[in-house]
Structure 1
Amino acid sequence: MIRQLRKAFFSRAKRSRWWQRLRREFGIRDLHPAAGIDTLPVSGEYRSTGQDPQFRLKGFLPAGWYMVEVNMTLALGQADARFYLDTGDGESEEMSFALPVRSGKLAKRVLCVPAEAKMRFDPLASVGSFTIGHFRVVRVLEAFARPRVLRKLRNIHPRYRQSDTGERYRLSHYWSDYNALFEGSQQDSEGYARWIEKAERTLLPDGASHERISACWKSRPTFSILLPTFNTRESQLRDCLDSILAQTYPHWDLCVADDASTEPHVAKILAEYAQRDARIRVIVREHNGHICAASNTALSMAGQDFVVLLDHDDTLAANALFAVAQHLQSRPTAQILYSDEDKIDDDGHRFAPFFKPDWSPDLLYAQNYVCHLGIYRRELVTAVGGFRPGFEGSQDYDLLLRCVARVTDSRDIVHIPMVLYHWRASEGSTALGHDRKDYAAEAARRALQEHMDRHHPGVVMEVTRPGIYRPRWPVPAPPPLVSLIVPTRDGYDILRTCIESILQKTSYPNYEILIVDNQSTCPQTLAYMAEICADASRSGRVRLLQFDFPFNYSAINNFAAKEARGSILGLINNDVEVINADWLTEMVSHAVRPDIGCVGAKLYYPDRTIQHAGVVLGIGGVAGHSHKYLPGHADGYFGRLLAIHNVSAVTGAALLVRRAVFDLVGGLDQETLKVAFNDVDFCIKVRDAGFRNLWTPFAELFHHESKSRGTDETEDKRKRFALECEVMQERWGSALSRDPFYNPNLTLVREDYSLASHQSLVGGD
């Protein structure tokens, strides 16, 4: 009878809709493959067949707040999942929400559904297999969502460090900031396309603005573009030449040296373009001499202030030369300039943006990160003899190294943080991977070795993999004494692991360990410290110091530094564990270099994901660790995890520095930075004193710091942390928002080298 009455009042569709409004939770059973997904025989496993795999959620979501949870096993290790909402007007990027997912880890976020909507779930944006172990969309109250959103913002976003920020507003007032925390992780081509549309086009002035901007310029620098060609595909050659003609800055000429192309269309196209614009000049070489000879022919035609290097199948951004001229106004003595770059495929799609650091000598010794777009003062290039035959494939790397050696003021090497160059990614091009041209890697190694032999005798260059190189810097003879300072309070298990790993695994011969006991009471810890110091076989190697005052990390290390005998100091946490025997040799080889300040190591969590690979200033308002949580074997951002490179700061968990440098800057700040950020503050002081800090991947240790310990949540600890954040922000100001070894186009709310949000780039964050 009841069923008959229900049918009388409700149609089937209406009954379904009524039931949907009562539902509060959706799970895996409600997901149905819609496009680009094959279901594999293995239970629960799927395969994405393209770059846009899609699931549909059965039914619809009533308006309100939701918590979404996803746990996937991913063949690629990580992915950027995305939810799309259709409220009746169709799906759009504006109504989509990102959720970065690491394989095997639960990812969750709050989601706002503004009106009744259907949901689409895209698990990743590439081809690959995956398993969905957990999927849940559950409706929650705003009172539940608000504290979770605010906690996420306070932990990561600079604006929300003050505890009361956001409390007086509805959740919708800071919804865009919350979304930006997730959106920034998009590194796929789709995410980059969104970034180009929202950020790049806003930041780059259009042609109409150039006259207004350049009205106050004191000079109009001129450029000779060097373009060696050889059998270039017709479409690519036209794209290249068209990009030059499209330049919004007119003061250039194009020096084309065709290297005796055998394809008839090349000469025809070059003649056509030379007739169209008198600034285009062409020489056709009688014999094929390869890239260096052709480049020198082009160089012989150059007569402008600067030469610009351009490959025959690549393209320039329309404002490339204008941006270079604009930067020359603030640094008219510049000798070398370089820009950010990306790749472009044969369909004209841009992808893989490389946002580079400012001048970083140690990164240059590991890879040619300068590469494209490269601009050199013409007199400098001619002074070093132009391009050297025999270095084909890495001729620009060789030229750069020889030019850099002639630049006496590093400020005359200028980085332009804009994508001004589009590198063609086609078969046979190194844009698709350095293994496409194996000969280039050996040419680069030889160029680096010659540079080292000339300017840093004793350094031996090795190829770690094509495109990545390792300089082995010598350790003086006899090896200097290193004093490793290990503060501790109780913690027997971690302390023993730390000390024993140093003593048993370290191959470096000349070091001492200073255990600084900060009021330990654990009998087991006290007994171990007494035993290790009394051990005759380790006599003189380990000393015990007593620091009988309240915990103050800075004061403890300053105290121990005064007691240390070594000319090199090592700040070592008691929860690290040595992995490779030559870790200390590697760190010492850099610490003894006269231009180097602090040296940091590669630290892993116990599960071998990255805990520390250098510190980036500005992340979270003060500083954060780059590449955090990436798999330990990952290459990192454009190979950064494989390369010795300069950073603004390194963690004090494993830091080496010469005693003279430590004393010069006054050690650690024990008055106002007792617990947090003292290592970052110290590194910035060292950097400002004229030294370069660096990180090396060839010193590896575990850091048994817990991944899940969270932030300090007690009121006293929160206040102390907030106060130390304020100290750093007041002391270093704008330096925290412009790390020279990072890039302003990269995020300051995540630790993954992802793109900055549109709002942060235009001042909205």
Structure 2
Amino acid sequence: MNHPNGGRPGLAVRLKALGDALSRNIKDARRSGIGPLRMFLIAVRALRHGPREFARRAVKRADSLTLTTALREQVPEAVAFDYVEWIDRQAGPVVASSDLGRISILMPTCNTPPTFLREALDSVVAQEYANWQLCVCDDASTDAHVREMLEAYSARDPRIQLAYRRERGGIVAATNEALELASGDWVTFLDHDDVLRPDALGAVVARLDAGADVVYTDHDCLSEAGVRVSPYFKPDWSLDLFLSQMYLGHLVAFKTSLVRSVGGLREGTDGAQDYDLVLRCVLAGARIDHIPSVLYHWRQHANSTSANASSKPYAHDAGKRAIQHYLDQASPGAEVQDAPMTFCYDVRYPVASGTRASIIIPTRDRIDLLDPCISTLVQLTEHGDYEILVVDNGSQEPATHAWFEAQQAAGRVRVITADVPFNWSLLNNLAAKEATGDVLVFLNNDTEIVNGDWLERLMENALRPSVGVVGPLLLYADRTIQHAGVVVGMGGWADHVFKGLPPVHAQQYFTSPMLRRNVLAVTGACMAIETSKFERAGGFDESFIVCGSDVELCLRTHHAGLLNVYVPEACLIHHESKTRDPRAIPDADFVRSAEAYAPYRTDGDPFYSVNLDPMTCVPLPRGWNQ
């Protein structure tokens, strides 16, 4: 078995990233009127946290500046968007209209600041769904106010039950002791400094009672000033995103019987105990559901990961161990590695020696595009076992045919002649029948390879038994995003989310474009699928002439129960124009797309969010401009 090497970027790469980040930060400071002396004092203050934390903060702030600048340029009106005003206008979730059973809230405490603890307790007492039980286990707090406040609340409300540890055991031990108190049909977790929305429990109970085993909701954060900020509108269950980042966050609720059947929280997972628990529930076959409503407010403060990702470095390593524990059972041979970003991960899957890829590239003349496509592919691609099939659809120029002859003579490509009227689906299907590879890669002639492991990345995911179609990150020539996954229904049809934005790791309303995730579809400009799956699906639908059949194939694999995956670790340049003339698309393609894309055009794409505006490629809240 060949297994790719990976890990964090090399020192030279990281130093260059830091240098670029510092340059962007200095330019922004100058624009804001900050002089050299003040900059120096700010840097000295930041260095008190250590050089590693200084570098992390500098890069994070620079990425945020890059994204903000791009948003200002693309959607200038969005800069003035008022989230607090917007969220107050949103309809609430469906909640339980009657008593469906008890839900137990597990809350470990340890020297919680009094204001934070009081607000957490008050948010439970204020729940509109009354059949709850709050199970608190204090982990040997030394601050006297913690016990005093807990006792006072418990005396007023018998639904609040308490346990005290004599010795500090950590969050797993304290939460498991709280679980021992639980008598509810369902359990959920509340951090001792966070706040529930009043309808939170009613919403999750209604969804759990409908048959889900695990339910998660959207969340936002409470700033240190107590203002609601940074909402995270999550997709429906996305295994690949979850293996890249613990995106469920808060609020997450479970069937109590499921939690107990998998052994509760696992010792040694402190800091990632909920991550590990969900993964073990997945292994147990849990059905996971999502409520797209902000029902949990995660508090930001210096010791919270919501505000400072490096406040709990042990949690990153615990998350990595939790993922590996899952992979050892679900995907033997797979290995989790560190992604460049804290609390993010990079799962690598083995590719058997001798596994071949067939790279299919339709073209008609345009050697000015095809030659750099083939040259960068041959020069950079690290996976050695592949063939290139160029589908010649009526090339007329002598230089093109001379190029074909030279390339074939050198053994670089095999040219397949297709003297038929242009039909993108037909051309690719013809070549697929002549391909000898285990994986088919359909590639536009106007692309260029960026990173050497692009093919290995696509292949290792396409070969997973649970996966259908796989697509990479595509960048325009100016290095902004051209493709980071297709949202079906976006723009009324289907479009590329994040299009035109910088390829930086930043979460603004939706997930980061630099994290692997499941999608309904990827673009046919570069997509990979295992040959046997392509054949079972029946290939591309040839009733589509120019466009639409790439998305339609992805929808067929999705409906067949397979996962389609966007893989940003594979990156190519795509020289497509940033605007496409819809007049070049035949009416028949619109008709077929309308048929194939239903019901997602009206009901939304489950891997996006109903809270986000489907008419813009930039993730912004629905109705942001009203």
TM bracket (short chain): 0.7 to 0.9
The secondary structure found in structure 2 opposite 1:646 is strand
The secondary structure found in structure 2 opposite 1:687 is helix
Q: Which residue of 2 aligns with 1:276?
A: 156
Instruction: Please list, as runs of the form range in 1=range in 2, the aligned pairs for 1:361-440 lying within 5 A after superposition.
Output: 361-407=239-285, 412-440=287-315
* Residues 416-465 of structure 1 deviation map (CA, whole Å, 9 limit, x = unaligned): 11111110101110111322211110111111112212322111111112
Are 2:349 and 1:473 equivalent residues in the alignment?
Answer: yes
The secondary structure found in structure 2 opposite 1:76 is helix
The secondary structure found in structure 2 opposite 1:434 is coil
Amino acid at match of 2:581: D
Amino acid at match of 2:66: G
Q: C-alpha displacement at 1:78, in angstroms?
A: 4.9
Amino acid at match of 1:194: E
* Residues 688-719 of structure 1 deviation map (CA, whole Å, 9 limit, x = unaligned): 11110001111111111122xx33164xx36x
Q: Which residue of 1 aligns with 2:198?
A: 318
Which has the higher mean CA deviation after the structures are superposed, 501-510 or 418-427? 501-510
Amino acid at match of 2:604: R
Q: C-alpha displacement at 1:542, in angstroms?
A: 1.5
Are 2:580 and 1:711 equivalent residues in the alignment?
Answer: yes
The secondary structure found in structure 1 opposite 2:541 is coil
**Of residues 727, 734, 753 in structure 1, which corresponds to 2:599?**
734
Are 2:72 and 1:101 equivalent residues in the alignment?
Answer: yes
Q: Name stretches of at least 5 consecutive residues in structure 1 with no aligned partner.
A: 1-40, 50-72, 82-99, 108-180, 761-765
Q: Which residue of 1 aligns with 2:17?
A: none
Q: Which residue of 1 aligns with 2:13?
A: none
Q: Which residue of 2 aligns with 1:294?
A: 174
Q: Which residue of 1 aligns with 2:16?
A: none
The secondary structure found in structure 1 opposite 2:310 is helix
Q: C-alpha displacement at 1:79, in angstroms?
A: 4.0
- Aligned length in residues: 571
CA distance in 1, matches of 2:278, 2:486: 27
**Of residues 495, 516, 540 in structure 1, which corresponds to 2:391?**
516
Runs of 4+ aligned structure 1 residues displaced above 6 Å come to none
The secondary structure found in structure 2 opposite 1:436 is coil
The secondary structure found in structure 1 opposite 2:291 is strand
Amino acid at match of 1:253: Q
**Of residues 652, 655, 669 in structure 1, which corresponds to 2:524?**
652
* Residues 337-357 of structure 1 deviation map (CA, whole Å, 9 limit, x = unaligned): 111111112332111111111
Amino acid at match of 2:281: C
Which has the higher mean CA deviation after the structures are superposed, 383-392 or 725-734? 725-734
The secondary structure found in structure 2 opposite 1:346 is coil
- Are 2:93 and 2:291, in contact at CA under 8 Å, matched by a contact in 1? no
Q: C-alpha displacement at 1:311, in angstroms?
A: 0.3
Change in Cα spacing, 1:636 to 1:526, as seen in structure 2 (3 Å) is farther
CA distance in 2, matches of 1:304, 1:406: 21
Q: C-alpha displacement at 1:667, in angstroms?
A: 1.3
CA distance in 1, matches of 2:285, 2:590: 38
CA distance in 1, matches of 2:524, 2:453: 19
Q: Which residue of 1 aligns with 2:536?
A: 664
- Are 1:358 and 1:740, in contact at CA under 8 Å, matched by a contact in 2? yes
- Are 2:462 and 2:528, in contact at CA under 8 Å, matched by a contact in 1? yes
Change in Cα spacing, 1:504 to 1:78, as seen in structure 2 (3 Å) is closer
Which has the higher mean CA deviation after the structures are superposed, 276-285 or 222-231? 276-285
Q: Which residue of 2 aligns with 1:530?
A: 405
Change in Cα spacing, 1:354 to 1:457, as seen in structure 2 (3 Å) is same
Q: C-alpha displacement at 1:272, in angstroms?
A: 1.1
CA distance in 1, matches of 2:92, 2:76: 22
Q: C-alpha displacement at 1:288, in angstroms?
A: 1.5
CA distance in 2, matches of 1:506, 1:77: 30
Q: C-alpha displacement at 1:240, in angstroms?
A: 0.4
Q: C-alpha displacement at 1:278, in angstroms?
A: 1.2
Q: Which residue of 2 aligns with 1:444?
A: 319
Higher relative contact order (CA 8 A, sep 6+): 2
CA distance in 2, matches of 1:289, 1:237: 20
Q: C-alpha displacement at 1:253, in angstroms?
A: 0.6
Q: C-alpha displacement at 1:642, in angstroms?
A: 2.7
Q: C-alpha displacement at 1:289, in angstroms?
A: 1.0
CA distance in 2, matches of 1:253, 1:182: 47
- Are 1:468 and 1:642, in contact at CA under 8 Å, matched by a contact in 2? no
Are 2:349 and 1:483 equivalent residues in the alignment?
Answer: no
Change in Cα spacing, 1:528 to 1:360, as seen in structure 2 (3 Å) is same
Q: Which residue of 1 aligns with 2:618?
A: 752
Q: C-alpha displacement at 1:723, in angstroms?
A: 4.6
Q: C-alpha displacement at 1:631, in angstroms?
A: 1.6
**Of residues 213, 218, 222 in structure 2, which corresponds to 1:335?**
213
**Of residues 668, 693, 702 in structure 1, which corresponds to 2:573?**
702
Amino acid at match of 2:326: H
**Of residues 211, 214, 227 in structure 1, which corresponds to 2:97?**
214
**Of residues 419, 426, 431 in structure 2, which corresponds to 1:560?**
431
- Are 2:496 and 2:617, in contact at CA under 8 Å, matched by a contact in 1? yes
Are 2:367 and 1:492 equivalent residues in the alignment?
Answer: yes
Which has the higher mean CA deviation after the structures are superposed, 725-734 or 309-318? 725-734
CA distance in 1, matches of 2:141, 2:436: 67
The secondary structure found in structure 2 opposite 1:435 is coil
The secondary structure found in structure 2 opposite 1:225 is strand
Change in Cα spacing, 1:182 to 1:683, as seen in structure 2 (3 Å) is farther
* Residues 314-351 of structure 1 deviation map (CA, whole Å, 9 limit, x = unaligned): 0111100111122235x32x211111111112332111
TM-score, normalised to structure 1, is 0.71
Q: C-alpha displacement at 1:634, in angstroms?
A: 4.1
Change in Cα spacing, 1:74 to 1:240, as seen in structure 2 (3 Å) is closer
Which has the higher mean CA deviation after the structures are superposed, 637-646 or 374-383? 637-646
Amino acid at match of 2:522: V
The secondary structure found in structure 1 opposite 2:174 is helix
Amino acid at match of 1:348: G
* Residues 280-337 of structure 1 deviation map (CA, whole Å, 9 limit, x = unaligned): 11112222111111101100000110111110000111100111122235x32x2111
- Are 1:335 and 1:407, in contact at CA under 8 Å, matched by a contact in 2? no
- Are 1:516 and 1:546, in contact at CA under 8 Å, matched by a contact in 2? yes
CA distance in 2, matches of 1:297, 1:521: 76
* Residues 150-200 of structure 1 deviation map (CA, whole Å, 9 limit, x = unaligned): xxxxxxxxxxxxxxxxxxxxxxxxxxxxxxx875x45x7x531232133x2
- Are 2:64 and 2:506, in contact at CA under 8 Å, matched by a contact in 1? no
CA distance in 2, matches of 1:678, 1:487: 15
Are 2:597 and 1:725 equivalent residues in the alignment?
Answer: no
Which has the higher mean CA deviation after the structures are superposed, 558-567 or 750-759? 750-759
Q: C-alpha displacement at 1:381, in angstroms?
A: 1.1
- Are 1:586 and 1:698, in contact at CA under 8 Å, matched by a contact in 2? yes
- Are 1:572 and 1:652, in contact at CA under 8 Å, matched by a contact in 2? yes
The secondary structure found in structure 2 opposite 1:751 is coil
Q: C-alpha displacement at 1:80, in angstroms?
A: 7.8
- Are 1:468 and 1:639, in contact at CA under 8 Å, matched by a contact in 2? no
Q: C-alpha displacement at 1:608, in angstroms?
A: 1.2
Change in Cα spacing, 1:221 to 1:732, as seen in structure 2 (3 Å) is farther
CA distance in 2, matches of 1:713, 1:259: 62
Q: C-alpha displacement at 1:74, in angstroms?
A: 12
Q: Which residue of 2 aligns with 1:76?
A: 65
Q: C-alpha displacement at 1:666, in angstroms?
A: 1.6
Q: Which residue of 2 aligns with 1:15?
A: none
Q: C-alpha displacement at 1:574, in angstroms?
A: 0.2
- Are 1:627 and 1:636, in contact at CA under 8 Å, matched by a contact in 2? no
Structure number having the greater strand percentage: 1
Change in Cα spacing, 1:406 to 1:554, as seen in structure 2 (3 Å) is same
